[in-house]
Amino acid sequence: MHAATVLLAFSALASAADPPARPNILLIQADDLGFSDLGCYGGEIATPNLDALAKNGLRFRQFYNCARCCPTRASLITGLYPHQAGVGEMNADTGQPGYRGFPQPNTVTIAEVLKAAGYHTSIVGKWHLGGPKRPAPTDRGFDEFYGMIGGFNSCFQEDPFYTRLPTGRTKREYAKDAFYSTDVFGDYALDFLALARKEKKPFFQYFAFNAPHFPLQARPDDIKKNADSYAIGWDKVRGARHQKQIDLGLVRKATPVSPRSPYTTRSDFLRIAENPEWDTLETDLRADLARRMALYAAMVECMDRNIGRVIDDLRKHGEFDNRGARSAAARRMIRLKWSGRPRWCSRDRSPRTHSTRTKSQRNRLAPGDPTRVTRLLIAQSKSAVQSASCLMTAMPNLPSAIYSWTKLKKSWVTDAGAAALRKSISKVKVDR
C-alpha cells in the first residue's frame, strides 16, 4: 500500500500567563495514493486543499511506509515496527508473534495515549486492523468510529459495509443514491469535531480515507472533469510530472525519469512483463486505461474536497491558524530517529519470542483495563519514538500526553515537568 499521511497540529489562542494549550491533532491518511499524484508533488490532479497545506508546511522527499495496508496502519498508530505490533503482513493469524493480524494487547495506540491525557479521540474511514472477533477501534482508544472495519468495499452502498461504533450510536441517514463513502467520511469527521467541542476537549482525529484504493468508483461529475486528461498516455503524463517535480525542487535537475515498471498479474491469469510504451497499445485498451485513470483522479479530487471541508470548519471555529500560542518547536515538524532498540528486540530489531519478555511486557492486561495504558507505556515508550508517538514529542505543548521514556517511573509527565521532558528528548537524534 502506498499511503500518504498528513499531520496537522492546531492550538487555541492563549495569553502569555496561560499554561500552554494542548494542540488539536488531525492525522489524514490516503490509501494507495502515488508519490506524484498530488499537485504539491508534481501531479496534474486538482488538490488545492492539500496543496495549500503543503505550501504552508513541510513536504518530505523521503517518506516510507510498510509496503502493505495493515502493517502501515499498525505502525502508524502504535509507533512500532509492524512486526513488533503483531501485524507483519495482513490480517491472517499465523500464530507467530509478529504475524497475529492485529495490534497486540502489549502495544499502546496513539489514541489510547491521548484519550488518557483528556483528548476526544475519533477515527473516520478505514480501520483494517482486525476483524469481527478482534478489537475494534473503540477498543483501542477511539471514542468514536465510522467507516470500514475491513479493507475495501463499495463506495456507493452503506449497508452492511460501513459501521458506526460504539454500538448503539445513531447513524446518519442518506437518501437513496446519495451515499458516497468519501463524502460521508467528511460528514462524520465534522460531526466528531463538533462532539469534541461540545465536550470542551482537545481532539485527535484520524481521518483515514479509503480513496483512491480500489474499487475505482467516483461521482459522475468528478469523472467528467477528468475524462480527457489521460488520453495523452502515461509516457507524457510521467514526463510532465517529472518536470514539475524538478521545478518544485522535489528532485534534482539531473534526476532521470524512472524506467517503466515491470508487473506481475494474479496467479489465476498470470502474466509477467514490463509496461510498454503507450503508443504501442491498441486503441480500445488506451481508451479503457485512460478512463480508469480519470476515475482514479476523480476519487482523489473528492478526497481533497472533503479535507477542505474539515479545514474550513477549523477556520470557522478559530482552530486552524492560531499560531501565536505555539512554540517554534511546535510550528515545525521534526524527524526523530531512535538510536537504540526496544529491550525485547534482538539486534536486528525482530521481536524475540514471547517467553523472553519480562512480566510487565507480557499480555497480562485486557484492553479495557484502566491501568493498561500507563503500564504498557513503560514497556513501549522507547520504541514508540518510531512514528506516531515521535510526532508528539516534537510538541512541547503536549507534555501531559507523553510518558517520559528516560524516567519510566510512576506518573504522567505534567506541565511542570516539560523541561525535564525536553531534556530527555535530547537523547534522541534529531534531523531538522
Annotated catalytic residues are: 69, 128
- One-letter amino acid identity for 344? W
Task: Give the separation between CA 106 and CA 244, rounded to whole angstroms.
Answer: 45
Q: Find, among 89, 117, 15, 129, the residue nearest to 412 by Cα.
A: 117
Question: What is the rounded (10 degree) CA torsion for 354, 388, 90, 166?
Answer: 100
Task: Give the separation between CA 388 and CA 391, rounded to whole angstroms.
Answer: 5
Q: Which residues pair with 31 in a beta bridge?
A: 3
**227 CB-near residues (< 8 Å, 6+ apart):** 291, 294
**285 CB-near residues (< 8 Å, 6+ apart):** none
Asked if 15 and 328 count as a contact pair (C-beta separation under 8 A), the reply is no
- Residue 429 phi, psi dihedral angles, 5° rounding: -65, 135
**Length of the chain, please?**
432
Long-range CB pairs of 159-162 (<8 Å, 24+ gap) are none
CB neighbour class for 222 (10 Å; exposed up to 12, middle 13-18, buried from 19): buried
Task: Give the separation between CA 68 and CA 350, rounded to whole angstroms.
Answer: 18
Asked if 149 and 131 count as a contact pair (C-beta separation under 8 A), the reply is yes
Taking the CA atoms of 341, 139, 309 and 159 in sequence, report the sign of the dihedral they define: positive
C-alpha grid cell for residue 327?
512554540
CB crowding 149-167: b at 16 or more within 10 Å, else e: bebbbebeebeeebbebee
Q: At what angle do helices 48-55 and 283-316 cross, to 10 degrees?
A: 60
Angle at 150 between CA 145 and CA 156, to 5 degrees: 80
Helix (H, G, I), strand (E, B) or coil at 267: helix
C-alpha grid cell for residue 157?
452502498
Alpha helices in 317-412 (DSSP H): 328-331, 372-380, 388-393
